[in-house]
Protein backbone atom coordinates (compact mmCIF):
# COMPACT_ATOMS: atom_id res chain seq x y z
CA UNK A 1 0.00 0.00 0.00
CA UNK A 2 1.03 3.61 -0.55
CA UNK A 3 1.86 5.79 2.42
CA UNK A 4 -0.90 8.21 3.47
CA UNK A 5 -0.39 11.61 5.09
CA UNK A 6 -2.67 14.26 6.60
CA UNK A 7 -1.90 17.56 4.88
CA UNK A 8 -4.78 19.77 6.01
CA UNK A 9 -7.07 20.23 9.04
CA UNK A 10 -10.09 22.37 9.75
CA UNK A 11 -13.00 22.44 12.17
CA UNK A 12 -15.72 24.66 13.54
CA UNK A 13 -16.15 25.40 17.18
CA UNK A 14 -18.39 22.75 18.71
CA UNK A 15 -21.52 23.81 20.57
CA UNK A 16 -25.04 25.09 19.95
CA UNK A 17 -24.57 26.70 16.54
CA UNK A 18 -28.07 28.09 16.09
CA UNK A 19 -27.11 30.61 13.41
CA UNK A 20 -25.54 28.01 11.06
CA UNK A 21 -27.09 25.16 9.08
CA UNK A 22 -25.97 21.55 8.62
CA UNK A 23 -24.36 22.38 5.29
CA UNK A 24 -22.90 25.67 6.54
CA UNK A 25 -20.83 24.07 9.25
CA UNK A 26 -19.52 21.35 6.96
CA UNK A 27 -18.43 23.84 4.32
CA UNK A 28 -16.76 26.04 6.97
CA UNK A 29 -14.64 23.15 8.25
CA UNK A 30 -13.92 21.83 4.74
CA UNK A 31 -12.70 25.17 3.41
CA UNK A 32 -10.39 25.56 6.40
CA UNK A 33 -8.91 22.11 5.75
CA UNK A 34 -8.50 22.72 2.01
CA UNK A 35 -6.86 26.09 2.65
CA UNK A 36 -4.54 24.49 5.21
CA UNK A 37 -3.60 21.78 2.71
CA UNK A 38 -3.06 24.23 -0.15
CA UNK A 39 -4.62 21.94 -2.76
CA UNK A 40 -6.56 22.99 -5.85
CA UNK A 41 -8.64 19.85 -6.37
CA UNK A 42 -10.04 16.77 -4.64
CA UNK A 43 -10.21 13.26 -6.04
CA UNK A 44 -12.94 12.09 -3.68
CA UNK A 45 -14.97 13.05 -0.62
CA UNK A 46 -16.16 11.02 2.37
CA UNK A 47 -18.62 12.51 4.87
CA UNK A 48 -19.25 10.87 8.24
CA UNK A 49 -22.65 11.61 9.76
CA UNK A 50 -24.67 9.40 12.08
CA UNK A 51 -28.31 10.29 11.73
CA UNK A 52 -28.81 13.46 9.72
CA UNK A 53 -32.12 12.08 8.46
CA UNK A 54 -33.57 12.29 11.97
CA UNK A 55 -31.69 15.34 13.21
CA UNK A 56 -32.27 17.63 10.21
CA UNK A 57 -34.30 15.55 7.74
CA UNK A 58 -31.39 15.31 5.31
CA UNK A 59 -30.07 12.20 3.59
CA UNK A 60 -27.96 11.96 0.39
CA UNK A 61 -25.35 13.87 2.31
CA UNK A 62 -22.34 13.13 0.08
CA UNK A 63 -23.88 14.79 -2.95
CA UNK A 64 -25.21 17.72 -0.91
CA UNK A 65 -21.84 18.56 0.59
CA UNK A 66 -19.94 18.15 -2.68
CA UNK A 67 -22.41 20.56 -4.27
CA UNK A 68 -22.23 23.25 -1.57
CA UNK A 69 -18.48 22.92 -1.27
CA UNK A 70 -18.26 23.53 -5.02
CA UNK A 71 -16.31 20.36 -5.85
CA UNK A 72 -18.94 18.38 -7.80
CA UNK A 73 -18.74 16.10 -9.82
CA UNK A 74 -16.19 14.54 -7.43
CA UNK A 75 -17.27 11.10 -6.14
CA UNK A 76 -18.78 11.70 -2.70
CA UNK A 77 -20.34 9.34 -0.20
CA UNK A 78 -21.87 9.52 3.27
CA UNK A 79 -20.47 7.05 5.85
CA UNK A 80 -22.47 5.81 8.86
CA UNK A 81 -21.34 3.74 11.82
CA UNK A 82 -23.21 5.40 14.68
CA UNK A 83 -20.92 7.63 16.77
CA UNK A 84 -17.82 6.38 14.95
CA UNK A 85 -19.10 7.51 11.54
CA UNK A 86 -16.31 10.08 11.31
CA UNK A 87 -13.62 7.56 12.16
CA UNK A 88 -14.97 5.11 9.61
CA UNK A 89 -15.01 7.86 6.97
CA UNK A 90 -11.35 8.49 7.75
CA UNK A 91 -10.65 4.77 7.36
CA UNK A 92 -12.28 4.66 3.92
CA UNK A 93 -10.36 7.72 2.78
CA UNK A 94 -7.13 6.17 4.04
CA UNK A 95 -7.64 3.05 1.95
CA UNK A 96 -8.76 5.08 -1.08
CA UNK A 97 -5.32 6.69 -1.16
CA UNK A 98 -3.35 3.66 0.07
CA UNK A 99 -4.84 1.60 -2.79
CA UNK A 100 -3.70 4.12 -5.39
CA UNK A 101 -7.24 5.01 -6.44
CA UNK A 102 -7.00 8.65 -5.30
CA UNK A 103 -4.18 11.09 -4.53
CA UNK A 104 -6.05 13.78 -2.56
CA UNK A 105 -9.15 13.06 -0.47
CA UNK A 106 -11.27 15.21 1.85
CA UNK A 107 -12.66 13.48 4.94
CA UNK A 108 -15.42 15.29 6.78
CA UNK A 109 -17.53 14.63 9.83
CA UNK A 110 -20.62 16.69 10.61
CA UNK A 111 -23.72 16.66 12.80
CA UNK A 112 -26.38 19.22 13.66
CA UNK A 113 -28.08 17.95 16.79
CA UNK A 114 -29.83 21.01 18.23
CA UNK A 115 -32.37 21.83 15.52
CA UNK A 116 -35.42 20.34 17.18
CA UNK A 117 -35.06 16.57 16.78
CA UNK A 118 -35.70 14.14 19.63
CA UNK A 119 -32.01 13.61 20.39
CA UNK A 120 -32.54 10.70 22.80
CA UNK A 121 -34.59 8.85 20.18
CA UNK A 122 -32.15 9.61 17.37
CA UNK A 123 -29.11 8.43 19.34
CA UNK A 124 -30.93 5.35 20.57
CA UNK A 125 -31.20 4.09 16.99
CA UNK A 126 -27.58 2.94 17.48
CA UNK A 127 -28.66 0.54 20.25
CA UNK A 128 -30.64 -2.70 19.90
CA UNK A 129 -34.20 -1.54 19.28
CA UNK A 130 -36.00 -4.75 20.25
CA UNK A 131 -33.99 -5.81 23.29
CA UNK A 132 -32.80 -2.49 24.72
CA UNK A 133 -34.64 0.61 23.47
CA UNK A 134 -38.11 -0.99 23.46
CA UNK A 135 -37.52 -1.87 27.12
CA UNK A 136 -36.76 1.77 27.91
CA UNK A 137 -32.96 1.59 28.09
CA UNK A 138 -31.00 4.26 26.19
CA UNK A 139 -27.28 5.03 26.25
CA UNK A 140 -27.03 6.69 29.68
CA UNK A 141 -28.60 3.57 31.18
CA UNK A 142 -26.38 1.21 29.18
CA UNK A 143 -23.18 2.98 30.21
CA UNK A 144 -24.44 3.18 33.79
CA UNK A 145 -24.68 -0.63 33.73
CA UNK A 146 -21.10 -0.81 32.48
CA UNK A 147 -20.02 1.58 35.24
CA UNK A 148 -21.77 -0.39 37.97
CA UNK A 149 -20.26 -3.65 36.73
CA UNK A 150 -16.76 -2.13 36.55
CA UNK A 151 -17.11 -0.74 40.07
CA UNK A 152 -18.28 -4.13 41.34
CA UNK A 153 -15.61 -6.22 39.60
CA UNK A 154 -12.58 -3.97 39.95
CA UNK A 155 -13.29 -1.59 42.81
CA UNK A 156 -13.47 1.48 40.58
CA UNK A 157 -14.78 4.38 42.64
CA UNK A 158 -17.28 7.15 42.00
CA UNK A 159 -14.46 9.65 42.55
CA UNK A 160 -12.33 8.01 39.86
CA UNK A 161 -15.13 8.39 37.31
CA UNK A 162 -15.36 12.07 38.21
CA UNK A 163 -11.64 12.56 37.65
CA UNK A 164 -12.14 11.79 33.94
CA UNK A 165 -14.57 14.69 33.59
CA UNK A 166 -12.40 17.05 35.67
CA UNK A 167 -9.31 16.29 33.59
CA UNK A 168 -11.14 16.66 30.28
CA UNK A 169 -12.74 19.96 31.28
CA UNK A 170 -9.30 21.28 32.19
CA UNK A 171 -8.06 20.34 28.71
CA UNK A 172 -11.17 21.82 27.13
CA UNK A 173 -10.53 25.10 28.93
CA UNK A 174 -7.36 25.36 26.82
CA UNK A 175 -9.08 24.55 23.51
CA UNK A 176 -10.71 27.44 21.59
CA UNK A 177 -12.86 24.96 19.62
CA UNK A 178 -14.33 23.30 22.73
CA UNK A 179 -18.00 23.59 23.61
CA UNK A 180 -17.19 23.86 27.32
CA UNK A 181 -14.12 25.90 28.26
CA UNK A 182 -14.68 25.86 32.01
CA UNK A 183 -12.99 23.94 34.81
CA UNK A 184 -15.06 21.71 37.10
CA UNK A 185 -14.39 19.87 40.36
CA UNK A 186 -14.84 16.28 41.51
CA UNK A 187 -17.49 17.47 43.95
CA UNK A 188 -19.43 19.20 41.16
CA UNK A 189 -19.42 16.07 39.02
CA UNK A 190 -20.64 13.82 41.83
CA UNK A 191 -23.24 16.34 42.99
CA UNK A 192 -24.66 17.15 39.55
CA UNK A 193 -28.10 16.06 38.37
CA UNK A 194 -28.35 12.28 38.23
CA UNK A 195 -28.91 10.82 34.76
CA UNK A 196 -28.52 7.07 35.36
CA UNK A 197 -26.88 5.96 38.59
CA UNK A 198 -23.96 6.36 39.11
CA UNK A 199 -23.61 8.74 36.13
CA UNK A 200 -24.58 12.39 36.47
CA UNK A 201 -24.98 14.99 33.76
CA UNK A 202 -21.31 15.96 34.26
CA UNK A 203 -20.25 12.37 33.50
CA UNK A 204 -21.98 12.67 30.13
CA UNK A 205 -20.98 14.21 26.81
CA UNK A 206 -23.26 17.02 25.61
CA UNK A 207 -25.56 17.51 22.64
CA UNK A 208 -23.50 19.40 20.08
CA UNK A 209 -23.36 20.87 16.60
CA UNK A 210 -20.11 20.91 14.69
CA UNK A 211 -17.96 19.75 11.80
CA UNK A 212 -14.34 18.71 11.33
CA UNK A 213 -12.37 17.90 8.18
CA UNK A 214 -8.96 16.61 7.17
CA UNK A 215 -7.32 16.43 3.76
CA UNK A 216 -5.40 13.23 3.08
CA UNK A 217 -2.82 12.74 0.35
CA UNK A 218 -0.23 10.24 -0.74
CA UNK A 219 3.13 10.91 0.89
CA UNK A 220 4.54 11.81 -2.54
CA UNK A 221 1.95 14.57 -2.93
CA UNK A 222 2.57 15.74 0.65
CA UNK A 223 6.30 16.03 -0.03
CA UNK A 224 5.71 18.00 -3.23
CA UNK A 225 3.50 20.39 -1.30
CA UNK A 226 6.23 20.64 1.38
CA UNK A 227 3.78 19.83 4.15
CA UNK A 228 4.77 18.50 7.58
CA UNK A 229 4.72 14.76 7.06
CA UNK A 230 2.09 13.40 9.48
CA UNK A 231 1.47 9.86 8.30
CA UNK A 232 -1.42 7.55 9.15
CA UNK A 233 0.58 4.39 9.82
CA UNK A 234 -2.36 2.15 10.66
CA UNK A 235 -6.14 1.97 10.39
CA UNK A 236 -8.16 -0.81 11.98
CA UNK A 237 -11.78 -1.47 12.90
CA UNK A 238 -13.77 -4.15 14.69
CA UNK A 239 -17.30 -4.91 15.87
CA UNK A 240 -18.94 -6.63 18.83
CA UNK A 241 -22.47 -7.62 19.79
CA UNK A 242 -24.80 -4.62 19.53
CA UNK A 243 -26.67 -5.31 22.78
CA UNK A 244 -24.99 -5.53 26.19
CA UNK A 245 -26.80 -8.72 27.16
CA UNK A 246 -25.15 -10.54 24.26
CA UNK A 247 -21.65 -9.97 25.64
CA UNK A 248 -19.70 -12.25 27.96
CA UNK A 249 -18.51 -9.31 30.11
CA UNK A 250 -20.01 -5.86 29.74
CA UNK A 251 -16.89 -4.20 31.20
CA UNK A 252 -14.84 -5.52 28.27
CA UNK A 253 -15.04 -3.57 24.99
CA UNK A 254 -13.91 -6.31 22.62
CA UNK A 255 -14.25 -4.15 19.50
CA UNK A 256 -11.83 -1.61 20.98
CA UNK A 257 -9.37 -4.31 22.04
CA UNK A 258 -9.37 -6.09 18.66
CA UNK A 259 -9.13 -2.87 16.65
CA UNK A 260 -6.23 -1.68 18.81
CA UNK A 261 -4.32 -4.95 18.56
CA UNK A 262 -4.69 -4.92 14.79
CA UNK A 263 -3.64 -1.26 14.58
CA UNK A 264 -0.51 -1.86 16.66
CA UNK A 265 0.42 -4.83 14.46
CA UNK A 266 -0.08 -2.84 11.25
CA UNK A 267 2.07 0.03 12.56
CA UNK A 268 4.72 -2.21 14.11
CA UNK A 269 4.18 -0.46 17.45
CA UNK A 270 3.24 -1.28 21.04
CA UNK A 271 0.92 0.54 23.47
CA UNK A 272 4.00 1.92 25.22
CA UNK A 273 5.04 3.66 21.97
CA UNK A 274 1.92 5.84 21.95
CA UNK A 275 2.59 9.32 23.35
CA UNK A 276 -0.96 10.68 23.41
CA UNK A 277 -4.46 9.54 22.49
CA UNK A 278 -7.90 10.88 21.70
CA UNK A 279 -10.52 8.36 22.85
CA UNK A 280 -14.30 8.11 22.84
CA UNK A 281 -15.32 9.38 26.30
CA UNK A 282 -19.05 9.63 25.62
CA UNK A 283 -19.40 8.89 29.34
CA UNK A 284 -16.63 8.93 31.94
CA UNK A 285 -16.72 5.14 32.35
CA UNK A 286 -16.05 4.77 28.62
CA UNK A 287 -12.64 6.46 28.89
CA UNK A 288 -11.67 4.25 31.82
CA UNK A 289 -12.61 1.08 29.92
CA UNK A 290 -10.95 2.28 26.71
CA UNK A 291 -7.54 3.05 28.22
CA UNK A 292 -7.59 -0.52 29.52
CA UNK A 293 -8.54 -2.05 26.15
CA UNK A 294 -5.89 0.03 24.36
CA UNK A 295 -3.29 -1.57 26.59
CA UNK A 296 -2.22 1.60 28.39
CA UNK A 297 -2.97 0.00 31.75
CA UNK A 298 -3.98 -3.42 33.07
CA UNK A 299 -7.65 -4.41 33.04
CA UNK A 300 -9.49 -2.96 36.01
CA UNK A 301 -6.85 -0.31 36.73
CA UNK A 302 -8.17 2.47 34.46
CA UNK A 303 -9.85 4.39 37.28
CA UNK A 304 -6.79 4.32 39.50
CA UNK A 305 -4.58 5.24 36.52
CA UNK A 306 -6.75 8.30 35.84
CA UNK A 307 -6.95 9.39 39.47
CA UNK A 308 -3.14 9.32 39.72
CA UNK A 309 -2.92 11.81 36.82
CA UNK A 310 -1.34 9.44 34.32
CA UNK A 311 -3.80 10.52 31.59
CA UNK A 312 -3.42 14.26 32.30
CA UNK A 313 -1.44 16.61 30.05
CA UNK A 314 1.67 16.05 32.18
CA UNK A 315 1.02 12.32 32.67
CA UNK A 316 2.65 9.27 31.14
CA UNK A 317 0.02 9.03 28.38
CA UNK A 318 -2.08 12.20 27.92
CA UNK A 319 -5.62 11.24 26.92
CA UNK A 320 -8.13 13.61 25.33
CA UNK A 321 -5.92 16.68 25.22
CA UNK A 322 -8.69 18.38 23.22
CA UNK A 323 -11.12 18.06 26.11
CA UNK A 324 -12.57 14.89 24.65
CA UNK A 325 -16.23 14.39 23.88
CA UNK A 326 -17.00 15.49 27.45
CA UNK A 327 -15.72 19.08 27.13
CA UNK A 328 -14.89 19.63 23.47
CA UNK A 329 -18.36 18.36 22.54
CA UNK A 330 -19.81 15.39 20.67
CA UNK A 331 -21.52 16.20 17.37
CA UNK A 332 -21.67 12.48 16.76
CA UNK A 333 -20.71 12.27 13.07
CA UNK A 334 -17.89 14.77 13.49
CA UNK A 335 -16.19 13.31 16.54
CA UNK A 336 -13.87 10.81 14.86
CA UNK A 337 -12.52 13.41 12.44
CA UNK A 338 -12.12 16.00 15.20
CA UNK A 339 -10.00 13.48 17.10
CA UNK A 340 -7.71 13.25 14.05
CA UNK A 341 -7.50 17.05 13.86
CA UNK A 342 -6.33 17.19 17.48
CA UNK A 343 -3.66 14.54 17.03
CA UNK A 344 -2.34 16.15 13.85
CA UNK A 345 -2.19 19.58 15.51
CA UNK A 346 -0.32 18.02 18.44
CA UNK A 347 2.19 16.29 16.16
CA UNK A 348 2.68 19.54 14.25
CA UNK A 349 3.35 21.32 17.55
CA UNK A 350 0.37 23.64 17.05
CA UNK A 351 -1.75 22.75 20.11
CA UNK A 352 -0.93 25.85 22.14
CA UNK A 353 -1.33 25.62 25.93
CA UNK A 354 -2.36 21.96 25.73
CA UNK A 355 0.69 20.93 23.66
CA UNK A 356 2.29 17.62 24.57
CA UNK A 357 6.04 18.15 24.45
CA UNK A 358 7.96 16.42 21.64
CA UNK A 359 4.96 14.36 20.51
CA UNK A 360 5.63 12.22 17.42
CA UNK A 361 3.14 9.32 17.71
CA UNK A 362 -0.55 9.65 18.52
CA UNK A 363 -3.65 7.44 18.44
CA UNK A 364 -7.36 8.02 17.91
CA UNK A 365 -10.11 5.66 19.03
CA UNK A 366 -13.68 6.33 17.91
CA UNK A 367 -16.61 4.16 19.01
CA UNK A 368 -20.23 3.54 18.07
CA UNK A 369 -23.10 2.58 20.35
CA UNK A 370 -22.17 0.98 23.65
CA UNK A 371 -19.00 -0.35 22.04
CA UNK A 372 -20.47 -2.36 19.17
CA UNK A 373 -18.15 -0.73 16.65
CA UNK A 374 -14.74 0.84 17.05
CA UNK A 375 -12.05 2.24 14.79
CA UNK A 376 -8.42 3.00 15.70
CA UNK A 377 -5.89 5.09 13.77
CA UNK A 378 -2.25 5.69 14.60
CA UNK A 379 -0.45 8.80 13.38
CA UNK A 380 3.30 9.35 13.18
CA UNK A 381 5.32 12.47 12.52
CA UNK A 382 8.20 11.89 10.09
CA UNK A 383 11.24 14.14 10.02
Cα–Cα distance, 290 to 375 (Å, whole number): 12
Annotated catalytic residue: which of 150, 258, 330, 377?
330
Annotated catalytic residue: which of 9, 83, 84, 282?
83
Cα–Cα distance, 259 to 243 (Å, whole number): 19
Using alpha carbons, select from 230, 224, 249 the residue that is nearest to residue 344. Answer: 230
| Diameter of the chain measured on Cα atoms | 56
Cα–Cα distance, 265 to 262 (Å, whole number): 5
Instruction: Kindly list the distances between the CA atom of residue 376 and the CA atoms of 61, 100, 133, 169, 279, in Å, as whole numbers in the listed order.
Output: 24, 22, 27, 23, 9
Q: What is the CA radius of gyration of the chain?
A: 19
- CB within 8 Å of 334: residues ≥ 6 apart: 11, 14, 29, 48, 86, 108, 109, 110, 111, 210, 211, 212
Q: Are strands 276-278 and 229-239 parallel, antiparallel or unpaired?
A: unpaired
Active site residue 169: no
Q: What is the DSSP letter of 124?
A: H
Q: Is the peptide bond before 198 cis (omega within 30 degrees of 0)?
A: yes
Could you give the residue numbers annotated as active site? 83, 330
Amino acid sequence: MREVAVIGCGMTRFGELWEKSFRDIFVEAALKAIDDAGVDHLDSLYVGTMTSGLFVGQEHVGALMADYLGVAPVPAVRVESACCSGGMALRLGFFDIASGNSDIVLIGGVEKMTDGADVTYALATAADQEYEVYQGVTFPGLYAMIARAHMHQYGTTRKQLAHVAVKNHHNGSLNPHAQFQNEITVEQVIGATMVAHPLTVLDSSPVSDGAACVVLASSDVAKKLKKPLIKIVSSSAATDALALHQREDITTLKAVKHAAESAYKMAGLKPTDIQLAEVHDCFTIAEICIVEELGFVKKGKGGEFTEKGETALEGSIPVNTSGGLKAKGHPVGATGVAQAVEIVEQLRGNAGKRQVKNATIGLTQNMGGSGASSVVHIFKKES
